[in-house]
A and B are shown apart, each in its own frame.
Chain A
Amino acid sequence: MDLTLADLKVGETAIIDSFDVEQLPMKLVEMGCLPGNEVGLLQLAPNKDPLYLNISGSHLAIRRETATHIFIRKKGE
């Protein structure tokens, strides 16, 4: 099964694998959300939404809905 950012647990990190750019705001891409970059989940708001991420050094929050469009792979895979 394909893992998405929404499957990450707090404190985990992974590598961004792929995403459909049409499903994402350009701003997210500009802030470093690009295939191959590292992403870590720092914190979850109540109801696990939004997600507080560290994407290759950029600290930002996105909603769970957006996170389900970003596929990830575990480090070293």
Chain B
Amino acid sequence: MSKNINVALIGNPNTGKSSVFNHLTGLNQKTGNYPGITVEKRQGVCRLPRGVKARILDLPGTYSLNASSLDENVVVELLLNKKDKDFPDVAVVVSDVENLKRNLLLFTQIKDLNIPTILVINMSDRMRRKGISIDTHKMEQLLHTKVALVSARKNEGIGVVKEHIAAYKTLSTQACLDIKKIDQDYFESLERTFSNQSLYKLWLVITQDVNFAKVERKKMEAENANHMRTPSYLKRLQQKETIKRYQFINNVLKECYEKDSSKATDLRGKLDRVLTHKVWGFVIFFVVLLSIFQALYDWSSVPMDFIDASFVQLSEWAKTSIPSWMAPNLIAEGIIPGLGGIVIFVPQIAMLFLFIAILEETGYMSRVVFIMDRVMRRFGLSGKSVIPLISGTACAIPAIMATRNIENWKERLVTILVTPFTTCSARLPVYLILISLIIPDERILGANLQGLVLMIFYLLGFGMALLAAFVLHKILPQNQTSYFVVEMPNYRIPLLKNVVLTILEKTKSFVLEAGKVILAISILLWVLASNGPGETFKNAPQEVAKSVSVTDATFDQQLSAYKLEHSYLGIIGKGIEPAIKPLGYDWKIGIAIVSSFAAREVFVGTLATIYNVGEDKEETIKERMAAETYADGSPVFTLASGLSLMMFYAFAMQCMSTLAIVRKETNSWRWPAIQLITMTIVAYICALITFQYFSL
């Protein structure tokens, strides 16, 4: 028999479940997705006493087993499916000492599934400050389980949790609630029809849309027809169940839990009065956002310039030092600039996730949801849309995944559809390089002009997102009542370990996921740029030599220009030139745009590849772009064409990964298709107007 134990970590949101998980597993964890859906799946390994190993699964946070969202459904599905390879031998319910009563609701539900269930009471370090005392021995007797008092912040009590897990076989699986007491008639008739099944499990399957046993469910519904009840009857029963559970919990807590309110301090109330204030709340939120963007711009430029310059040098070195049988040109001109295009994002992505993680961990995000809800509702969004829209400034993919806790489908759909308008980090390098080319490095009223333009583009992204939401709100039909219940967690100082792990994990997944695409495209581009059809490309040296203007000094340069123009890539770029000329772009920019439709971040890398083909001089990408001219000697990148290009990148849907996520989250190709077409049209029109206006 295998010594590995399957452990499921379950708990309400905001109980510090992830911190407990991080303590149990350390760096022995990996993140993936549940098959077919984009709910994050975190797994890790924990060494227990006596050489036993436990596989720990960190399930999404949920308030109960009555799932109302995709995330919560994952929990129910797993706990109902004994055949699942992750089905837990033991469940660990993580609760927060201050919300113990509410947390115990979930505990009793899980215990009633006859799974050995350990109760972890986290944040025990706050007990004294809140005047709370708990008799854990008494509690263990009343709940028929083991209880561990833990402080994830101070790393206390984790050892006890491990002991309890290792001894899971000694735990009782006695239920907390006799489900029949809710409605004797109903449950007895159920029992007669399905004599060999657990009543509580049946009840869970009946009351919610559990995907796991669709077939079985159909069969059951048919047999069940005579005791089918109306949805409202079932909902009343659910309410009754909740009341019964709270009665049980209150009886337990009466005997082992005491709270002396006079000893409690009210930091929460004081902070709330400021942070959710009608005026100060908004002022503070604005200042927080402004500081984040300023910091992002100021702190990221140094590492970015350094990375940019390092990769140019590396490329130079590769060209001269790599033996010819290893295809030095492919490495120096395709792969290295491609890798550079990935690494250059790392400082920004890490920094953005640092800020977002801090805002989430402190509990401030919920206050933003609270003060912004009314404003957002005017645009058909919810206060909960603020988090996706802000996260969208890092990357639309996690942002769209973060819409999952918006209960109302219409509000959620609108949020999903407009989130890609917010300025994601992939647009940032495009903006940064163009701004530094076309906007002078001056100060206006003490503010850096370049930073100001960058902020305007961020605001433009949010503005367009809101405008689009407003239009969609008017067009789309309302299909259900809008529910909005947001927990306002306690304020907490973020745990360094959690923040660092979040940054590491998100940055890693970006580098690996987006990086694959970027690298593949860079290589493909290099191949397309260094090969061409027919005799015109093959005979390039002879063709260039025929030219009257050629001299020895300029031969190489003219040759490479000629080659690029007649390569496959050149042919594609030239093909679309008529369409993009009114926007102020030449065919080389056209190539960059075409390749950007896979992922925006390819833009800079593509230009690097295009301009580098046949280039021997050591120059940074920026210098090379500034030197780029049309045949008549006028520069390609002017204020008009630069701004037009930025407008195009601001609004166009140029990210395959985002489209794939939207497809997954909306379960249809219809919405990503609409997004792709509409956003591109909007981008084209805006870019056209911008170029024509600034060229006057």
Contact = CB atoms under 8 A, between A and B. Distances in A.
Interface stretch (B210-218, B271-279, B343-351, B434-442): B271-279
A49 B373 contact: yes
A17 to B, nearest CB: 15
Contacts of A58: 99, 102, 487
Interface stretch (B34-42, B80-88, B478-486, B686-694): B478-486
Interface in A1-35: 21-22, 25-32, 34
A57 B102 CA distance: 9
A34 B276 contact: no
Interface string A35-69: 00000001101110110100011111111011000
A27 B374 contact: no
A61 B99 contact: no
Interface in B526-559: none
- Choose among A21, A29, A61 the residue with the greatest number of B CB atoms under 10 Å from its CB: A61
B248 to A, nearest CB: 13
B314 interface: no
Nearest to A55: B102
B484 A22 contact: no
B446 interface: no
Specify the main secondary structure of chain A where it touches its partner.
mixed
A29 B243 CA distance: 9
B489 interface: yes
A45 B370 contact: yes
A25 B374 contact: no
A62 B384 CA distance: 12
A22 B235 contact: yes
B232 A50 contact: no
Given A25-B68, A60-B485, A34 B373 contact: no
B254 interface: no
Contacts, number: 110
A25 to B, nearest CB: 4
Category for how many chain B residues contact A: 35 or more
Contacts of A28: 483, 485
A56 B102 CA distance: 9
Contacts of A61: 366, 369-370, 373, 383, 484-486, 488
A4 B246 CA distance: 23
Contacts of A62: 484-486
A59 to B, nearest CB: 4
Contacts of A57: 98-99, 101-102
B416 to A, nearest CB: 21
A55 B484 CA distance: 15
Given A57-B99, A57-B102, A27 B68 contact: yes
B202 interface: no
A58 B273 CA distance: 18
Nearest to B488: A59
A22 B233 CA distance: 9
Contacts of B278: 45-46
Most central of A34, A46, A65 by chain B CB within 10 Å: A46
- Chain B interface, DSSP helix/strand/loop, else mixed: helix
Given A45-B276, A61-B369, A25 B485 contact: yes
B95 to A, nearest CB: 13
Contact of A45 (B63, B242, B373, B482): B373
A47 B485 CA distance: 18
B63 A31 contact: yes
Contact of B374 (A21, A50, A56, A66): A50
A62 B105 CA distance: 21
B66 interface: yes
Given A21-B236, A26-B238, A57-B99, A63 B484 contact: yes
Nearest to A60: B487
B64 to A, nearest CB: 5
B371 interface: yes
B276 to A, nearest CB: 5
Contacts of A66: 483-485
Interface string B244-280: 0010000000000000000000001100110010100
A53 B20 CA distance: 28
B362 to A, nearest CB: 15
B407 interface: yes
A45 B66 contact: no
A49 B63 CA distance: 24
B622 to A, nearest CB: 45
B695 interface: no
B246 A34 contact: yes
B239 interface: yes
A15 B364 CA distance: 29
Given A46-B371, A50-B373, A66-B484, A30 B63 contact: yes
Interface in B463-504: 482-490
Nearest to A53: B488
A73 B373 CA distance: 28
Nearest to A35: B243
Nearest to B487: A60
B276 A26 contact: no
Contacts of B373: 45, 49-50, 61, 63
A26 B66 contact: yes
A31 B102 contact: yes
A45 B382 CA distance: 14
B276 A43 contact: yes
A57 to B, nearest CB: 6
Contact of B370 (A32, A50, A65): A50
A60 B373 CA distance: 13
A60 B486 contact: yes
A52 B276 contact: yes
Nearest to A23: B481
A32 B101 contact: yes
Contacts of A29: 238-239, 242
The 8 closest A-B pairs by CB, nearest first: A25-B483, A59-B488, A61-B486, A21-B239, A30-B64, A63-B484, A61-B370, A46-B278
Interface of B: 63-64, 66, 68, 98-99, 101-102, 105, 232, 235-236, 238-239, 242-243, 246, 268-269, 272-273, 276, 278, 366, 369-371, 373-375, 383, 407, 482-490
22 contacts: A21-B235, A22-B232, A25-B68, A25-B407, A26-B64, A27-B68, A29-B239, A30-B242, A31-B63, A43-B370, A45-B370, A45-B373, A50-B373, A50-B374, A59-B487, A59-B489, A61-B366, A61-B486, A61-B488, A62-B484, A63-B373, A66-B484
Interface of A: 21-22, 25-32, 34, 42-43, 45-47, 49-50, 52, 56-63, 65-66
Given A50-B486, A61-B366, 4 more contacts: A25-B68, A50-B370, A57-B102, A60-B485
